Structure 1
Amino acid sequence: MATKKEKQLRTCSKGHQYYKSSDCPTCPICEAERKPKTGILSQISAPARRALEAHRISSLKQLSEYSEKEISTLHGMGPKAITILKEALKENNLHFKTN
């Protein structure tokens, strides 16, 4: 039986204090501050956004150069983000690359 980890108070390099039970080093306050206000990256979760940013994908045009399978295998990319991305591509007359 898995035991629930206790939340620990942490401080990031910018001085933000937050509680977290996972080993993830990402400060939620820093993430909220750097979230884009517009564009496709503003519509998806932080893990999915970081996955796209790590591959230098910041626009729908860039996204359309990848297959759905390639994007869905990125760490942090879940089914909800894929659905949002597919709908955004469709609304802009774009689509994932087909193999």
Structure 2
Amino acid sequence: MSTRDVPARIGDLPPIGRPANSALLAAGITTLAQVATRRRADLLAMHGVGPKAVRILTETLTDHNLTWAD
């Protein structure tokens, strides 16, 4: 799937970029609660998810009183 076909936003996730969205969709992650069940390192290991996306997700998790699984 081309990143052009990936939505700019998925569910309640913050805007983290289409490559990161594509990686999360491929892993079946569509909500912030699902992100909270994963480890930061697992997301960073996904092609398309970089430090900036993880930083944005970390900030959003904190805003919603959630944390990473690690």
TM-score, L = length of structure 1 = 0.62
Give the Å deviation of 1:79.
1.0
Please state which structure has a larger fraction of its residues in strand: 1
- 1:46-65 CA-to-partner distances (Å, cap 9, x unmatched) read 00000100111111111111
Between structure 1 and structure 2, the one with the greater Rg is 1
Q: Which structure has the higher relative contact order (CA within 8 Å, separation 6+)?
A: 2
In structure 2, stretches of 5+ residues that fail to align are none
Root-mean-square deviation (Å): 2.0
Are the counterparts in 1 of residues 9 and 21 from structure 2 also a CA contact under 8 Å?
no
Change (3 A) 1:26 1:68: same
Alignment correspondent of 1:26: 2
- 1:44-93 CA-to-partner distances (Å, cap 9, x unmatched) read 11000001001111111111111111111101001110100000000000
Please state which structure has a larger fraction of its residues in helix: 2
Alignment correspondent of 1:54: 26
Correspondent of 1:39 among 12, 23, 40: 12
Distance 2:49 2:33 in 1: 18
Are the counterparts in 1 of residues 20 and 49 from structure 2 also a CA contact under 8 Å?
yes
- The residue identity in structure 1 corresponding to 2:42 is E
Stretches (4+) displaced over 2 A: 25-28, 34-39
In structure 1, stretches of 5+ residues that fail to align are 1-24
Residue correspondences, number: 70
Change (3 A) 1:48 1:27: closer
Alignment correspondent of 1:64: 36
